[in-house]
Structure 1
Amino acid sequence: MLIKSGRFTASVVFVAILTNGASAFPLYLPKSCPTAEWSSTATTFANKSEIRSRIEGIFIDNNNTVYVIEIHESQILIWHEDRIRPMIIKTVTDLSSISTVFIFNLDEIYISGVQERVVKWMPSTDAYVYVTNTGTECDYVFIDIGNFLYCSMPIQGRVAKRWLDGEMEMMTVAGTGKIGSAPDELQLPNGIFVDTNSDLYVADTLNKRIQRFSLDDRNGETVAGKGSSDITIVLNRPLSIILDSDKYLFISDNGNNRIVASGPNGFRCLIGCDGRGQQSHQLLLPVRITFDIYKNMFVINDRDQILKFDWQKDSCKNVPLLIAANYSSILTQNHTKFSRTIFHQSEYHYETIEVLVDENGFYILTANSSIDLYGQLYKHYFDILNPVHNLIAWHGKCCNKDQFRFTLELLTDTKYILVVTTYNPNMTGPFSVTVFGPNTVHLERTGMEQFVKSTYTSALTQDHGKYFPPSCHTTLGSYYEAIQINVNESGLYTILTSIENMDRGMTVYIYRHDFYALIPYGNLVPQDDICGMDNRAHIAFKFLAGMRYVLVVSTCTSLELGSFSVTLLDVSSAAHSRYSSELTTNSQQYDKDCNNEYYYYQTVQLIAPASAYYALSAGKSSSIDIHIYRNHFDPLNPYKNIIEVNRQSCSWSTEIKHTVHLQSSITYVLLIITSSRSLATSFSIDIYGPTNTTLEHFVDNSTYCYVGGPCNTQVRSIGLTLDDILRFEVKRHRSMHHQSLPIKIAGAFTVIMFIAGVVNSACSILTFQNVKSRAVGCGLYLLASSVTSLLTITMSTIKFWFVVVTHMDKSIRLSVLEGGCKSIEFLLKLFFYWDAWLNACVAVGRGMNVYKGVSFDKEKSKRYARWIIFILPIMIVGTIIHEPLYRHIFKRKVTHSLQETSKDSYTWCITSYPQSVEDYNRAILFIHLLGPFFANLLSSLFIIIGSARRRAEAQRQQSYRQHIREQWDEHKQLVISPMILLLLSTPRLIISLLSGCMEVSRHTWLYVCGYFISFTPSILVFVVFVLPSNSYRKIFKETFFRICKRQR
């Protein structure tokens, strides 16, 4: 049935590949490895400046073309590879209900929800073909390799399919049409995926699981999440599922704000492992995931942003099977128990082991035991009260020799906690842990903090009463339960809440003495609203002994039902610490949001003697914000080291509280910043916890060398290069005519030096190509030096103009920039050092002539000279061969925030060495610059002293001192010349040793002059060696006049 285009209401779009009536598998399935990693920080592929309405779907074809449906604008956005801006295709269909996209062939687009049907839209003819009648809303469509169209129907709790090459009607393949959690039931099915074996995978969102349905089998198997036959992973509202070529799962765990994946070594967290947020390393309600042909991961974040996480090509490595550490222990009844999930009771004995490595690299952690073990690896610390937090890998199998096995990258500057527990509850027994890796690993058992814990578990049902809670949001009435609390000791307590089977979460209100549902504000303790998308919340509160409290548990949305648990932890008697100060116009400033708007701030060192939860309050001051950093706060990179803080505030209360878990082994930096630009204010910070904390104002004077701008930086190493000197002096997108006066003069000076160098080398080559001047080895050295000096001055000229032109014109290809960055400086050093050592060889050769006297062998001298000229560059290259490896292109993108489009970009050549390589470079620099000088100086002194001694033996009528004086008058230029050359090279030595943190923009003239002066020895070969020598000067004149006569 063919119809012309009109206005419809569509709910889902999904596009498949169809070729001559047969289908090919429409998705690119990446091939990864157990150690596969993606960059922890995202780049923004598309944001609100390009996507002005809600998006739900994304697809990338085999040509790496990206397709996105923009719902309210009713249009398709298409990014072809290497294109920054999308091509826009307007549709005539109302796409206001579309939730996903899967596009390859632009002329065959399947749209579901058109009058409860699926239609195929053909843009080339602007026509629609009805495909099938779904009878209900179809939120996700998938077309498999057999050309079957699958449709997920969340309202009916089922998935149906039909064959596109036949007349069959839609048939249910998963779910019963009844909402439930049984193996054959679904509750709000969302994303679906069908593999090449026709196995159907369903993101069973509200059941918090991933179901697999084999072909013609209506009973699903839970492969991930709640109810899995094997211990896998805790999911919270999974929305989409995709498989790789090895059939490992990639899941957008929407409620936990992360992307997780399975593998041969269990599940692990890939993206968003540091909690929810809007920073570049965090996710906020991820909706869909997909991959491009380069294995880069694309994530739809919060339905209005597409983030790209780059595939780390070097992450697939074979771990050397060298035992790096062994650890043995026994789990006993005396070991503490905990729950792997947030909601369930503590039933598993466990032991925590601190893991530290001496070398960055990939390691294998595995265990062996007579009982079935389960392992969980955490980054930074393990929170027994929230076992999902900081969790990066977890694995365990029943009845397996390798009880758990992790293969992952570990870093030297990070502490890891390995939790060894049992696969089955209430088990004990011995175990051993073995670590394989490239270097030593330190395993040490750690103690855990102890709590007095009281837990209350219940469920809100329709039999519970309703009331209107005094929350920050509007509700129409919620079910609630009131719990009486009495404490035996006054102090700070932590209330932990967890929920199950609730979509929007729960909230808690605390009342003193009595609670009346009809008087929700009576006796209410002012506090913060904890409603949100997470299923667990922490509240720090000071309870007093002898006072009756009522804890009212309610839901965040009206008439919601579900189970809940409330745990009251007595951390200890409350200790109170206060820090007061003020932010003034003299305070430090930094770019808080990376948009060139600066705010006053103050840093306070925070040390917690005990590892526990602490409450931080800024009182009723709304003029400041508080952030906490681990170890160090870097104003140029404010997202680095920041830790997640539970921030509570409410519209009817100006007080802002923060709850955070602090470790006694870590020094924290408390950042107090003004909430408005250029605002000066006083403030007080109160901290409550089990012990008094140490708060001390400090200014971090540690030096960090950066190029780039806030939130987009690159560490600079020691030593200034011409790139560093001219980086901020060259005006971008301007011709040479519009450049500053220093650049113009430097350009002119470069041309003059190049002309002088060419003339110098030409005259020198004329002199030393004559056979008479090459009677001994010194002549060969000088001939070679004439060539290397020409190459040196040529490369220095190329270097200057390469830096200037590449800074003026940003259209130059990246490959050209990368090649020039790595090669030009390397070749310049090679020719410069080669020339310097050849000059030294001249002095040494003269010294040997004086030492041998009449027995000096001229032929042997020339033979040695040829070998030395050939070997010298090889030896020099051997000392600097590493330098191109540490020189790379750094591209700075100027952005206002993660959500904004890049406004401009700067490309710089950066040199960055590790400390050990810096020390080596200093030694090599002194060798190549001071070595030739001392060789020249000592050889010259040897010539003077040796000649004087020989004459003193032959002419005894004069004293030895008189002969020394005569030889000095005759050969003093041999001593003065190397000193002049050293003096001219000194600026290069100084510039090379200067810190990369130097601010050169204020003294550009000084650095530019010093840089060019250091190359003047390369244009002085003729002046230093030919003009002072009567024989060389005579040979030059003869050669020059002979050439002139030939021209006539």
Structure 2
Amino acid sequence: MIEEHRVETGLLDDTMDMMIVAGTDKEGSASDQLNGPAGIFVDTNLDLYVADSGNHRIQLFSFGKKIGKTVVGLDSPDITIMLACPYSVILDANKYLFISDHCDGRIVASGPNGFRCLVGCDKEGSQSHQLKGPRTFSFDVDGNLYVADGHNGRVQKFDLQKDSCKTVVASNIQTIYSSTLTKNHTMFSRTRFSEFKYHYEAIKVVVSKDDFYTLTANSNIDLYGHVYKDQFDPHNPTFNIIAWNGKHHNQSQYQFTLELLVNITYIWVVTTYEPNVIGSFSITALGSKTVRLVLMDIQPSIESIYTSMLTAHYERYSPHPCDNHSPGPARFYEAIEITVNENGTYTVLGSINMNISMPIYIYKRDFHPHVPFSNLLRENENCYVYNAPQITVELLTSIRYILVASPCLKSMLGAFVIKLFDRSSISFQRINTSSYILSNYSSHLSAANQLYHKACDRSYFYYETVRLTALIDGYYGFWSVSPASPIEIYIYKNHFDPLSPHENSVKVDAQDCFANHRSKYAVYLWSDVTYILLITTLSPSMTTQFIIDVYGPASVSLQRIVDNSTYCRVGGPCNVRVKSIGLTLDDILRLEVNRNMAMHDQSFLIKISGALTVLVFIAGFLNSACSVLTFQNPKSRTVGCGLYLLASSLTSIFTIIMFTIKFWFVVVTQMNTSVPQSALRGGCKSIKTLLKLFFYSDAWLNACVAAERAVSVYQGVGFDKEKSKRWTRRIIFILPIVIMSSIIHELLHRQVFTHEIKGEQSVGKNASISGKIVTKQYFLCITSYSQSLQDYNTAILFIHLLGPFIVNLLSALFIIIGGARRRAEAQKKHTLSQHIREQWNEHKQLVISPIILVLLSTPRLVISLLSECTDVSRHTWLYLSGYFISFIPSILVFAVFVLPSNSYWKTFKESLFRICKRQRS
């Protein structure tokens, strides 16, 4: 009877009154009392097990007895497991307990090695492996478990995993250790704060092979055994424990089967089931290899004690700010600096004050009452009645530690005691932590603020950035209050980029109280670093006023900034890549291509640009073919100019071919998402590099033609044609190598960046589970340079585009002026200016041609030097036209060099006539 706090029994035919078999008419925690008994189990001996829910324990009432014994839970004399509102209990044939731990959302059970969690071990929840408020449960004949999952409103079935246990092969190699527990042996409490003491002996277990081992004990007295990993602390007997067993499982002795590993220290503690009992015993270790059992000398710990008294004059604070709806601190506290003289593992024992235990907190280096979650090393917030908190923690001499003692109740005052145990003494010093400097900042997030993708999706959040400068290095706490909507604070070093919100972020300790629109943050700030404070809302498109208080060792400077500068990036929110300056054909066409659609379904721009590409290819190929036809004739190659022009004709053909390949590679790879990654990487790295190689070679070869003509004018009749041809062949061979070496950095730094756009999609038969899947995927060919390499790339760009123009222009001017001077010397009846005008009329095409060519190349230069992430979609036609125009010089070799020259034109006609004659014959 849960509300009457007792268990009654009676006959089914109701011929007699009900009889109380457990509990009284009053709730309580004494051994004969119950507090909300929720479930019972009666074994074959008619012993009664009660799930004493309100006392968080399992009580055993032997048949005919009204005084119970705690077998599981807080007050058990044995090491068991902590329970929270146990609802039901079952025993199996081996007397092992199975318990529904209602408030913890799990099913726990005892076994040969102690207690363990069976189901719901990964916190409460509604997923298939989780429980929430489990009540009753049962097993079927196959061992499958059925649980009434109360708060989830369902019955869960958990199948027996028949292959979940490893078969342990029996071994005959045994090691025996014998000893006697005497009155001279050290005593300890098997459970914390128990009044009973037990003699014990600690034996180190050393194995030489990773395997399963069986550990058994024999004696004429009732034994109890513990096995620990790494370390055994008599003051905290549950710390590092991996197995425990004894008479409480209805066995006269015990047996463990454990997997033991090499190079791991195990401690086997042998003690008695009843207190103050002595006697001889023997233990046996069975395994595939011999086990070493070595007696350990557990040195007695030195007890260091600190006593004090909390009064109304002490400072207050709240260890959990979200517990209070007011921003003011709640509990009295005292902060004590502890100094250890030796590195080691220490046990900290708090005291009980006014029948309620006092939680203890240990901080590393420093403690700030306004941000109590920062630097927190360990804590024990045990507020159970008659159960003081305890912490076992490793402390180092080189680190400062702060121990904070604070009662569970806001108004609690009085004396308290803190004890620390280890091999050396510890010093205590009360410290003042209330000194701090307050700085604040207030503003309003509205529709006028900037927007960014905080969650890396398509949700927009208003944000505000504040430049933060600390005057002194140290820990600072941030307290935010926003009445309309919860806000979040992020801190960045030097710069915040809304396209990459994770870059430059500083890790902070945070505690959000979204229920009352308050949050606390803590971070260590350096005075020589400028920080950016980002304030945004918890939910997208929300607006709110907010106030931020900053606590620290000194005031801080808070100044709002609006920074619109970002690096040029490609991709999407949180999935971006830094992109070097300049637009490429990939940038221009990327957003215009319709993915997974045929060419006839593409946009008008793609169709027109595709047609223009074909026309440029045809025109360029015919032009270059005619040039090759002209300059392959030996008559046109009597000097170096002819060789240069023949090489230029060939590079023009290759330039047009690579231009066409580049265009269709961009279009096809954007249209078809199934292109192999290897093809994408190969095309990305090679096509543009080869295009630039041929394009620059063509321009420099044309410049070499102009320089050759200038040299011939300068040398006059002394011009050596054979020497000219020798130098021409060398230059034609060296020029591509020099150009390639100047642009090799592009090949090394160009890469394929995969940009994925993810969306939600239901998964599973019932579509009850949703997950992120890739809905779209883009492959972007980009280059990323450092600033120094970017400067080098810009310089190379100017050299290859303006260098040939300057050589052409200077050569043309030299030809005109040099020729005029020679004529002026021979024909003195005309002035130099008259001869210059005559020369200009004769050779003006030499000046006009490079000017036209450089004007045609100017759009490419401008496109390559754009220093921002330009919105190409608004001016796609303009950028695409500029890109096409920049390749016109490559199709004008015939028009520029052959048509204006009578000798070259005559050579072309002869070559063409020869071919036609050959075809007729």
Q: Which structure is higher in helix share?
A: 2
- Distance in 2, matches of 1:929 and 1:974, equals 18
Structure 1 counterpart of 2:912, one-letter code: F
- Counterpart of 1:684 in structure 2 is 547
Q: Matched residue of 2:497: which SS?
A: coil
Q: Does 1:118 align with 2:118?
A: no
- Distance in 2, matches of 1:996 and 1:885, equals 23
- Counterpart of 2:839 in structure 1 is 967
Structure 2 counterpart of 1:1033, one-letter code: W
Q: 1:597 to 1:116 in 2, by over 3 A?
A: closer
- Distance in 2, matches of 1:537 and 1:676, equals 40
Whether the aligned pair in 2 keeps the contact of 1:495 and 1:538 (CA below 8 Å) is: no
- Counterpart of 2:226 in structure 1 is 178
- Distance in 1, matches of 2:788 and 2:831, equals 54
- Counterpart of 2:436 in structure 1 is 574
- Distance in 1, matches of 2:337 and 2:696, equals 70
Q: Does 1:216 align with 2:88?
A: no
Q: Does 1:459 align with 2:349?
A: yes
Deviation at 1:796, TM superposition (A): 1.1
Deviation at 1:590, TM superposition (A): 1.0
Q: How does 1:352-431 map to 2 (within 5 A)?
A: none
- Counterpart of 1:592 in structure 2 is 454
- Counterpart of 2:32 in structure 1 is none
Q: How does 1:656-667 map to 2 (within 5 A)?
A: 656-667=519-530
- Distance in 2, matches of 1:481 and 1:733, equals 64
Whether the aligned pair in 2 keeps the contact of 1:494 and 1:613 (CA below 8 Å) is: no
- Larger displacement relative to structure 2 (977-986 or 900-909): 900-909
- Distance in 1, matches of 2:898 and 2:347, equals 97
2:615 to 738, 752, 759: 752
- Counterpart of 2:848 in structure 1 is 976
Whether the aligned pair in 2 keeps the contact of 1:615 and 1:659 (CA below 8 Å) is: yes
- Counterpart of 2:43 in structure 1 is none
1:994 to 841, 861, 866: 866
Q: 1:680 to 1:537 in 2, by over 3 A?
A: farther
- Distance in 2, matches of 1:710 and 1:552, equals 56
> C-alpha offsets along residues 87-107 of structure 1, whole Å, 9 cap, x if unaligned?
xxxxx997999xxxxxxxxxx
> C-alpha offsets along residues 72-129 of structure 1, whole Å, 9 cap, x if unaligned?
989xxxxxxxxxxxxxxxxx997999xxxxxxxxxxxxxx98579836xxxxxxxxxx
Whether the aligned pair in 2 keeps the contact of 1:757 and 1:1018 (CA below 8 Å) is: yes
Structure 2 counterpart of 1:724, one-letter code: D
Q: How does 1:912-991 map to 2 (within 5 A)?
A: 912-991=784-863
Deviation at 1:517, TM superposition (A): 8.8
> C-alpha offsets along residues 660-680 of structure 1, whole Å, 9 cap, x if unaligned?
333323222222112222212
- Counterpart of 1:810 in structure 2 is 673
Structure 1 counterpart of 2:722, one-letter code: E
- Larger displacement relative to structure 2 (717-726 or 785-794): 717-726
Q: Matched residue of 1:118: which SS?
A: coil
- Distance in 2, matches of 1:132 and 1:627, equals 56
Q: Matched residue of 1:595: which SS?
A: coil
- Counterpart of 1:614 in structure 2 is 476
Q: 1:981 to 1:214 in 2, by over 3 A?
A: farther
> C-alpha offsets along residues 697-731 of structure 1, whole Å, 9 cap, x if unaligned?
11123331111111111111122222222222222
- Distance in 2, matches of 1:665 and 1:551, equals 45
- Counterpart of 2:380 in structure 1 is 506
- Counterpart of 2:506 in structure 1 is 643
Q: 1:815 to 1:345 in 2, by over 3 A?
A: farther
User: Quick one: percent identity of the two aligned structures?
Assistant: 51
Deviation at 1:657, TM superposition (A): 2.5
Whether the aligned pair in 1 keeps the contact of 2:569 and 2:576 (CA below 8 Å) is: yes
1:708 to 566, 571, 584: 571
Structure 1: gaps spanning 5 or more residues: 1-53, 55-69, 75-91, 98-111, 120-129, 135-156, 205-212, 228-341, 349-423, 427-455, 468-478, 484-490, 510-515, 519-530, 556-563
2:588 to 713, 722, 725: 725
Q: Normalising to structure 2: TM-score of the pair?
A: 0.60
Q: How does 1:842-921 map to 2 (within 5 A)?
A: 842-895=705-758, 900-921=772-793
Whether the aligned pair in 2 keeps the contact of 1:494 and 1:568 (CA below 8 Å) is: no
- Counterpart of 2:241 in structure 1 is 187
Structure 1 counterpart of 2:290, one-letter code: D
Deviation at 1:344, TM superposition (A): 10
Deviation at 1:221, TM superposition (A): 14
Structure 2: gaps spanning 5 or more residues: 1-105, 107-121, 130-141, 148-158, 172-202, 218-223, 234-239, 245-256, 268-286, 300-334, 362-367, 419-425, 761-769
Q: 1:203 to 1:668 in 2, by over 3 A?
A: farther
> C-alpha offsets along residues 562-607 of structure 1, whole Å, 9 cap, x if unaligned?
xx99997545633222211111111111111112111111111222
- Counterpart of 2:358 in structure 1 is 480
- Distance in 2, matches of 1:465 and 1:1035, equals 116
Q: Matched residue of 1:882: which SS?
A: helix
Deviation at 1:968, TM superposition (A): 1.1
- Distance in 1, matches of 2:822 and 2:608, equals 52
Q: How does 1:116-195 map to 2 (within 5 A)?
A: 118=165, 171-172=214-215, 178-180=226-228, 187-188=241-242
Whether the aligned pair in 2 keeps the contact of 1:493 and 1:569 (CA below 8 Å) is: no
Aligned-pair Cα RMSD in Å: 5.1
Q: How does 1:509-524 map to 2 (within 5 A)?
A: none
Whether the aligned pair in 2 keeps the contact of 1:626 and 1:673 (CA below 8 Å) is: yes
Q: Does 1:199 align with 2:265?
A: no
Q: 1:792 to 1:189 in 2, by over 3 A?
A: farther
- Counterpart of 1:1040 in structure 2 is 912
Rg larger in 1 or in 2?
Answer: 2
Deviation at 1:654, TM superposition (A): 4.8
Q: Does 1:1026 align with 2:916?
A: no
Whether the aligned pair in 1 keeps the contact of 2:337 and 2:431 (CA below 8 Å) is: no
Whether the aligned pair in 1 keeps the contact of 2:207 and 2:289 (CA below 8 Å) is: no
Deviation at 1:830, TM superposition (A): 0.9
Deviation at 1:900, TM superposition (A): 3.6
- Counterpart of 1:797 in structure 2 is 660
Q: 1:783 to 1:159 in 2, by over 3 A?
A: farther
- Distance in 1, matches of 2:460 and 2:696, equals 46
Whether the aligned pair in 1 keeps the contact of 2:640 and 2:708 (CA below 8 Å) is: yes
1:785 to 648, 654, 662: 648
- Counterpart of 2:7 in structure 1 is none
Whether the aligned pair in 2 keeps the contact of 1:492 and 1:574 (CA below 8 Å) is: no
Whether the aligned pair in 2 keeps the contact of 1:492 and 1:573 (CA below 8 Å) is: no
- Counterpart of 2:72 in structure 1 is none
- Distance in 2, matches of 1:903 and 1:466, equals 61
Deviation at 1:465, TM superposition (A): 6.8
Whether the aligned pair in 2 keeps the contact of 1:480 and 1:552 (CA below 8 Å) is: no
Whether the aligned pair in 1 keeps the contact of 2:374 and 2:522 (CA below 8 Å) is: no
Structure 2 counterpart of 1:638, one-letter code: P
Deviation at 1:1027, TM superposition (A): 0.4
- Distance in 1, matches of 2:613 and 2:375, equals 71
- Distance in 2, matches of 1:620 and 1:538, equals 34
Structure 2 counterpart of 1:588, one-letter code: Q
Q: 1:952 to 1:493 in 2, by over 3 A?
A: closer
